[in-house]
Amino acid sequence: MADVAKPIQQEARAAKAAKKSPLETAKEIAATMCRQPKEAHWLGVRMENVLRVYERKIAGVTSANVCDYLEALMRKGQVEWQVKQSLDAIGLLMLYGYQREDLAIPALREAWGSRLNQRVGISVSDVSENATEGGSPVTTRLRRVLRVAHYAVRTETSYTQWWERFEKFSGARPESELGADEVRAFLEDLAVERKVSAATQKQALNALVFVFGQVLGRPLGNLGDMIRAQPKRHLPCVLTVEEVSRVLAELDGVPSLVGQLLYGSGLRLLEALRLRVKDVEFESGQIVVRDGKGEKDRVTVLPEAVRESLLLHLEGVRRLHQQDLAAGFGGVQLPYALAVKYSNADREWCWQYVFPAAGFSKDPRSGAIRRHHLHESTIQRAMSEAVRRSEVPKPASSHTLRHSFATHLLESEHDIRTVQELLGHNDVATTMIYTHVMNRPGLGVRSPLDGGLRKRLSHSR
């Protein structure tokens, strides 16, 4: 009998030894899902961390408990990607380790999104997993190349859209069959059939040249004779000093402050909205524009007239930033790899936007939830309404204030080279266009109608 029982006991011990713990099971699954061992390692570490908190009551853990745990991580200073990794680790552990389908990753993401919605006023869709960016394989490669080269999000959007339009025009043919002839036909169609401007056709050409040269490794070379859209010379819309005063008087709050900076400093709209606290130098009376058009830095004047209003505005922004920090947020997007080099810099006061948005939004690339700068459409709508109420009979926009800044400086006899530097123009010829819309046109030419003929007409009446 004893001889019979012995093998049974050995089999039982072997079966027990072969049985893995929920943590080990989840770790093995994570290892098969991760591309890199390092990622699987950290998922395992985060599984162990949550087990230390909930191991004795793991059966009773709810999605609310998980959200509380994630909030605690944020209060300890963990950034968005770390919290997201913890959420994924918990979802894997619960599903594969404890067979809790109600706490799988999709369910946890929805619950965490609802929690953030209650806290900061963003939608659940904003914090869900980044959707796979659509498009052809070439589009995916294009995005990767642009991001490695630190191209702007707007450039990425523009280039990918032009490539998709080119693919559609070419009848979805394989990219290996596309070349200079197809590009020429597409660009000529834009000019002849679509009647686009010269600038639009040039933008499409630049996008396709980049794709063929940098992504496909097949430079287009000389496209030969091609029908091009004819460039037109337009004079900028400029307001008089009195008209500027009337328009600015119709702006209130933050739009008023932004409008004063556009006119008083000659900033482009996005340059003003992207200002960081550190870029406004009150003591020296100047504004440092970082990564302006063409990724160039420059210095321009800080108007004395907005000094007090801007200081008062920044006090309110600082209080908002402190509230965000207390809620576990407060981080902003940093240029290039500064977020890696200085891990806590995104939460520091000096890096915060001067004009922050009212709510949180998702970074289109990283998926991180942050408070971005104010959206340009807010100022554009306010400016359009202000022009309407002021009854200024001109199609003025926010950029008109920058044109007016340059023109009024030239009318005040400031050196054109100085104005060029303040505006950030590469070529003085670009700045020269404002001499054609000054209040003293030409070389003081007097119209012949204002001469003797005018007197004769007045006498004849």
- pLDDT of 202 over the 70 cut: yes
Question: What pLDDT was estimated at residue 222?
Answer: 80
Residue at 457 is within a domain: no
Same domain, 92 and 165: no
Count the domains in the chain.
Answer: 3
DSSP bridge partners of 361: 370
Same domain, 254 and 369: yes
Instruction: Output the domain CATH number for residue 152.
Output: 1.10.150.130
Would you give the distance in Å from CA 440 to the centre of its chain?
A: 41
Question: What pLDDT was estimated at residue 127?
Answer: 36
Same domain, 252 and 373: yes
Residue at 46 is within a domain: yes
Half-sphere exposure of 201 (CA within 13 A, CB side): 22
Token code pair at residue 117:
């919605």
Residue at 404 is within a domain: no
Name the residues annotated as catalytic: 268, 293, 399, 402, 425, 434
**Angle between helical axes of 307-326 and 253-265 (0-180°, round to 10):** 130
**Predicted confidence band of residue 312 (pLDDT cuts 50, 70, 90):** very high
Same domain, 263 and 193: no
Same domain, 259 and 355: yes
Separation CA 316–CA 137 (nearest Å): 46
Closest CA to 375 of 298, 289, 274: 274
Instruction: Output the domain CATH number for residue 25.
Output: 1.10.150
Same domain, 142 and 115: no
- pLDDT of 367 over the 80 cut: no
CA-to-CA dists, residue 190 to 194, 211, 448, angstroms = 5, 18, 44
Please check whether residue 434 is in contact with residue 403, taking contact to mean a CB–CB distance below 8 angstroms. yes
Question: Could you say which of 67, 88, 119 is where a domain stops?
Answer: 119
Please report, for the chain, how many H helices and E strands are present, in that order: 22, 5
Same domain, 362 and 297: yes
- pLDDT of 318 over the 90 cut: yes
Half-sphere exposure of 191 (CA within 13 A, CB side): 19
Residue 272: CB atoms within 10 A of its CB come to 26
Q: Which is more confidently placed, 401 or 233? A: 401
| Best mean pLDDT range from 26-35, 125-134, 164-173, 266-275 | 266-275
Separation CA 91–CA 124 (nearest Å): 18
Question: What pLDDT was estimated at residue 444?
Answer: 55
**Predicted confidence band of residue 459 (pLDDT cuts 50, 70, 90):** low
**Predicted confidence band of residue 133 (pLDDT cuts 50, 70, 90):** low
Residue at 364 is within a domain: yes
Domain that holds residue 56: 19-119
Residue at 418 is within a domain: no
**Predicted confidence band of residue 223 (pLDDT cuts 50, 70, 90):** confident
Residue at 440 is within a domain: no
CA-to-CA dists, residue 430 to 235, 293, 367, angstroms = 11, 14, 39
Question: What pLDDT was estimated at residue 33?
Answer: 65
* pLDDT, tens digit (0-9, with 9 covering 90-100), for 38-89: 777 888 888 888 888 887 777 788 888 888 888 888 777 676 777 888 888 8
Instruction: Output the domain CATH number for residue 268.
Output: 1.10.443
Q: Which pTM value belongs to this model?
A: 0.62
Same domain, 153 and 72: no
Residues above pLDDT 70, as percent of the chain: 83
CA-to-CA dists, residue 171 to 164, 174, 190, 210, angstroms = 11, 9, 16, 21
